[in-house]
Every structure is written in C-alpha cells, then in structure tokens.
C-alpha cells in the first residue's frame, strides 16, 4: 500500500531522513520506533505530503503522493493538535469532518455512539472548545475524527503519549479491531515499547533518519527493543 523509494530529507545541511526502500503492505499493522530526532515524524509528514523530500518518492496505492489528491480519499491521520480546528467544539468538528466525507449528522452520531467508552464521558456535550481540552482529550478528538472517516490507511504519531491508562487500553483495542477485523492498514509511532509491540505485527526501528531494523513482532521483540535502547542509553555509549 505504501512504498518508499530513495527518500531523503535535509534540514540545514543535515540529513534527517534517508530511507532507500521500505514497503508497507495493505492490511499490515506497523509500528515506528526510535529516539527523539530519529526522523519518525518527518517521515510521517512526507507520507502525508505535508513536506517534500529533496529526492525520492513515496507511493500510495500505486500512485505518487506528492502533488496527488487521490490518497486523501482513503487516508486518515492524527499527528498533533495542529490537525484540529481548536475554536470548534468536538461535536462541531466531528460534523465538519463528516460533512467533508458526505456523511450526515445521523451517521456521525452513530459512529460517535460507538466510541462512548473511548471518550469516557470527557468529550461529547461538555460545552468546551477543543482548545480548552487537555492534550489527552484533544488526542481522543483527533483519533475519533480519523475513525469517522472510515479510512483504509490510518496513521497516528505518538497517540499513547498524553492519554490515561484506561484510554490507552481502549485505543489499543480499537487499533487491533481496525486492523484484524476491518483490514485497515495502520502505521503508529510510539515511544512506549510495550504498547507498540502489543498493537503492531511489524516494527520499523529508526535512528538518525535511517531504518536500521525491520522486525516481525514475536514474543522476543519487546526484549530485543529494550536491549537496543538500553545499550543506546548506557554510559559506555556516551549517550
């Protein structure tokens, strides 16, 4: 579904992403992990055509993403609160997103009703603007807006970072259901190795803009990642 070909992004003379080749097949659940500055968010933004690479191309469903609009019909993403319209209430924002996809209010309400547990009584009918919500609740709004779009490809950047443990558990179940039961291709970045190895069948490990490992998740993957990052953080490495 997604193919990266010789992508290179440079800022101020420093190469922040350098990925010769990687392919994500339709229906895969892929986790992207790495330390701060590894290039994860930059790669996400290039997949979404928010920034352009110096060289190379990203293919989605057989077509180049850059300058193309077709991928937007089946792709939903939440990277940060900048994806939201903060002067709207959550309900107004959901109806706006629904309208972009030709969904009426009844359909939007039906989808939102299915997210009652995920919202945990903190989002709907609270009379708050999105800007006045906590970062965790803004994340809930962003994820819910993605689900509302019924995507074939879902991309989430650090979705577990600001939400409480109960919501983390519910989000993991939502992602598993989307992938296993509905065939949605999911790409999720996270610093939480437990969550990412639980949710994803495949892990891409990035360091300094390069994908250095491509791991099929199994019972030893979490330990392998913990050992890797433990070595990176040890005094002997100079970190």
pTM, two decimals, is 0.93
At 65-113, the pLDDT tens digits run: 998 999 999 999 999 999 999 999 999 999 999 999 999 999 999 999 9
Q: What is the pLDDT of residue 238?
A: 44
Token duo for residue 68:
């193309």
Confidence band, pLDDT 50/70/90 cuts, at residue 208:
very high
pLDDT at residue 197 is higher than 70 = yes
pLDDT at residue 201 is higher than 90 = yes
Confidence band, pLDDT 50/70/90 cuts, at residue 232:
low
235 vs 65: CA distance, rounded Å: 42
At 101-113, the pLDDT tens digits run: 999 999 999 999 9
Confidence band, pLDDT 50/70/90 cuts, at residue 236:
low
pLDDT at residue 235 is higher than 80 = no
pLDDT at residue 130 is higher than 70 = yes
% pLDDT > 70, the chain: 97
Instruction: For 94-121, give the DSSP string.
Output: HHHHHHHTT--HHHHHHHHHTTHHHHTT
Angstrom distances, CA of residue 131 to CA of 24, 97, 168, 170: 34, 17, 22, 23
138 vs 163: CA distance, rounded Å: 9
Return the SS3 of 48.
coil
Question: 75-78 and 153-157 as β-strands: parallel, antiparallel, unpaired?
Answer: parallel
Confidence band, pLDDT 50/70/90 cuts, at residue 237:
very low
In degrees, rounded to 5, the angle at the alpha carbon of residue 22 between the alpha carbons of residues 160 and 191 is 20
Angstrom distances, CA of residue 24 to CA of 35, 107, 152, 212: 21, 31, 13, 16
The whole-number average pLDDT for the span 118-124 is 93
Confidence band, pLDDT 50/70/90 cuts, at residue 58:
very high
With helix as H, strand as E and coil as C, how does 114-158 read?
A: CCHHHHCCCCCCCCCCHHHCCHHHHHHHHHHHHHHCCCCEEEEEC
Q: What is the pLDDT of residue 234?
A: 58
Q: What is the pLDDT of residue 239?
A: 39
- Domains of the chain (ranges plus CATH)? 1-74+153-239 (3.40.50.300), 80-150 (no CATH)
Q: What is the pLDDT of residue 233?
A: 61
């Amino acid at each position: 579904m997604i193919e990266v070909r010789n992508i290179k992004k440079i800022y101020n003379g420093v190469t922040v992403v350098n990925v010769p080749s990687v392919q994500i097949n339709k229906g895969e659940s892929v986790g992207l992990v790495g330390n701060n500055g590894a290039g994860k968010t930059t790669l996400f933004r290039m997949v979404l055509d928010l920034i352009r690479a110096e060289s190379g191309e990203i293919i989605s469903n057989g077509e180049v993403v850059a300058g193309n609009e077709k991928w937007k019909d089946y792709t939903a993403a939440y990277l940060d609160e900048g994806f939201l319209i903060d002067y709207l209430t959550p309900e107004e924002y959901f109806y706006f997103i629904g309208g972009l996809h030709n969904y009426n209010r009844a359909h939007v309400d039906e989808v939102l009703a299915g997210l009652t547990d995920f919202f945990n009584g903190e989002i709907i009918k609270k009379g708050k603007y999105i800007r006045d919500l906590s970062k965790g609740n803004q994340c809930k709004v962003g994820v819910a807006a993605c689900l509302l779009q019924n995507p074939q490809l879902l991309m989430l950047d650090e979705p577990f970072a600001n939400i409480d443990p109960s919501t983390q558990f519910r989000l993991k179940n939502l992602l598993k259901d989307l992938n296993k039961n509905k065939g949605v291709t999911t790409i999720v970045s996270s610093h939480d190795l437990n969550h990412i190895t639980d949710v994803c069948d495949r892990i891409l490990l990035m360091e300094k803009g390069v994908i250095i490992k491509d791991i099929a998740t199994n019972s030893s993957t979490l330990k392998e990642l913990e050992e890797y990052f433990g070595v990176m953080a040890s005094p002997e490495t100079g970190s």
